[in-house]
Homo-oligomer: A and B are copies of this chain.
Amino acid sequence: MAKMTPRTLSGFMELLPAPQQQMERILQTLRETYSLYGFTPLDTPVIESSEVLLAKGGGETEKQIYRFQKGDADLSLRFDLTVPLAKYVALHYNDLAFPFRRYQIGKVYRGERAQRGRFREFYQADIDIIGDGKLSILNEAEIPSIIYQTFSSLGLKRFCILVNNRKILNGFYAMLGLTEQSGGIMRTVDKLDKIGSEKVAELLTGELGIPAEKAVEILSFIAINGENQQVLSNLEAYRGRDSLFDEGLDELKTVVRHLSDFGVPEENFAVDLTIARGLDYYTGTVYETVLLDYPEIGSVCSGGRYDNLAEYYTDKQLPGVGISIGLTRLFYILGEQKLLNPAMNTAPADVLILPMTDDLSASIQTATSLRASEIRAQVYTEQKKFKQKMSYADKLGIPFVIFLGEDEIAQEKVSLKNMHSGEQELLSLGEAAAKILKKLGEFDAIQPIC
């Protein structure tokens, strides 16, 4: 028979078993962490009606959308988890309690140009808090603590959560009478790191036609940095010139003030006036998260406050705040940078039982009993040479092997071999289980990122 060469589409991540175990561990950590903060899991369809999904219309992503006909229906694959959330909240409004806190971890689809580290199918891990009409600023203060807890639980230490407030930026531009140009200014200022301040000043006065003295003000404003308290007190100098600015500054101070209550250390947090987030709909606090040793990667967790989640579906005012982790890309980067902890237990089983007799009953009973202690146990059932059986355990990284021969069965014992140390002992099944569980406890303490 002619064979079809098997292949996986480019831009689609398909992991081998060991890295998949690492990914599962990360997924589980995210689920547990988000749950600790009272977020409820949601799962919405991957396919939506195109008119519903694209109600907002236009935008850069539209070309990238997987859109197709099925029968009479015009369908699209979701390209993020925010639009489905907006639909969900508008549709199920009467069944929800607000503030509505949800997390969703799911695959989204964007037909981007294929290139290294870019994915067409990728996981997003989102949390959002949606208010009904109003939402307290304290929710904005809580978000950095969730980011902190999430990355800390994964094992990451050298990261920084950058925070800004769009009201400060918009208020500042209003002070200068440059509200109309603020979009262009922010895009230009965004290039500061790449092209330097002189070139930015040239673009501001040239392309955007901004008076030189205002360009100077913009650059000096953007240049405000240093310790968080220093930045906040520098910003105080602008107070009283624009009410939106003042409101944003008060919000930012509230966010910063509550961070230690929320358990976020100073070194993992910075006020950064250059953070604006491209999306139009952010209206208050905005967040980015950078890995201090890998600044070139950019933000690995971003989001912010918005005033109107579902304006395309409902007249209800639904303000919210949320963040998103691009998990597939993050996982790819962690792998590339050798940050995935090789000490993690990625074996499919904790113990492999090798029957040394024709009758497998004792081995099967042993496995059944170990599983009752929550030990992942596999009986090796194939007719192979001893060496091949051992190399199976070895290849899969299974930490323990139990041998069960006539002698062991007669003595009601098992021979337990620690595959790492090579140590082998004759033990009761209870003793063997205790040894294995002790080792598993050590494994549990190993975080996925090193």
Q: Which A residues form the contact surface with B (CB < 8 A)?
A: 1, 3-9, 12-17, 20-21, 23-24, 35-49, 51-52, 55, 66, 68-71, 73, 75, 86-88, 90-92, 95-97, 99, 101-102, 107, 109, 111, 120-121, 131, 134-136, 138-139, 142, 145, 149, 258, 261-263, 310-315, 348-349, 352, 360-361, 364-365, 368, 371, 374-379, 381-383, 392, 395-396
- Besides A8-B87, A20-B42, A261-B364, 19 new A-B residue pairs in contact (Cβ under 8 A), listed by A number: A7-B52, A9-B49, A12-B47, A14-B43, A14-B88, A16-B96, A20-B43, A23-B43, A38-B352, A38-B378, A46-B121, A47-B109, A47-B120, A71-B111, A97-B392, A97-B396, A101-B378, A258-B364, A261-B368
A35 to B90, CA, bound (A): 38
Contact partners of A383 in chain B: CB under 8 A: 134, 136
Closest to A261 in B: B364
Contact partners of A52 in chain B: CB under 8 A: 4, 6-7
Closest to A257 in B: B361
A75 to B418, CA, bound (A): 47
9 interchain pairs, CB-CB under 8 A:
A6-B86, A14-B88, A16-B92, A16-B96, A24-B41, A37-B378, A46-B107, A47-B120, A97-B392
**Contact assessment for B102 and A258 in the assembled complex, using a CB-CB cutoff below 8 Å:** no
**Contact assessment for A47 and B91 in the assembled complex, using a CB-CB cutoff below 8 Å:** no
A377 to B149, CA, bound (A): 14
A131 to B145, CA, bound (A): 48
**Contact assessment for A14 and B68 in the assembled complex, using a CB-CB cutoff below 8 Å:** no
Given contacts A38-B348, A364-B262, A17 and B376 within 8 Å (CB-CB): no
Given contacts A41-B20, A46-B107, A6 and B377 within 8 Å (CB-CB): no
**Contact assessment for A3 and B315 in the assembled complex, using a CB-CB cutoff below 8 Å:** yes
**Contact assessment for B17 and A102 in the assembled complex, using a CB-CB cutoff below 8 Å:** yes
Q: How far is the CB of A286 from chain B (nearest CB, A)?
A: 19
Closest to A131 in B: B382
Number of copies: 2
A50 to B119, CA, bound (A): 19
Closest to A378 in B: B38
**Contact assessment for A121 and B24 in the assembled complex, using a CB-CB cutoff below 8 Å:** no
Residue in contact with A136 in the complex, picked from B368, B377, B381, CB distance below 8 Å: B381
Contact partners of A86 in chain B: CB under 8 A: 6
A5 to B101, CA, bound (A): 23
A38 to B55, CA, bound (A): 46
Q: How far is the CB of A405 from chain B (nearest CB, A)?
A: 17
Closest to A140 in B: B381
Contact partners of A374 in chain B: CB under 8 A: 36
Contact partners of A392 in chain B: CB under 8 A: 97
**Contact assessment for B6 and A314 in the assembled complex, using a CB-CB cutoff below 8 Å:** yes
A262 to B21, CA, bound (A): 26
List the 6 closest pairs (A to B, CB-CB), nearest first.
Answer: A38-B378, A68-B68, A38-B349, A40-B348, A4-B55, A138-B381
Q: How far is the CB of A319 from chain B (nearest CB, A)?
A: 11
**Contact assessment for A37 and B376 in the assembled complex, using a CB-CB cutoff below 8 Å:** yes
A82 to B275, CA, bound (A): 46
A173 to B302, CA, bound (A): 65
Closest to A314 in B: B3
Most buried by B among A6, A17, A92: A6
A173 to B42, CA, bound (A): 50
Contact partners of A5 in chain B: CB under 8 A: 313
Given contacts A87-B6, A312-B4, A382-B131, A365 and B261 within 8 Å (CB-CB): yes
A361 to B8, CA, bound (A): 51
**Contact assessment for A368 and B16 in the assembled complex, using a CB-CB cutoff below 8 Å:** no
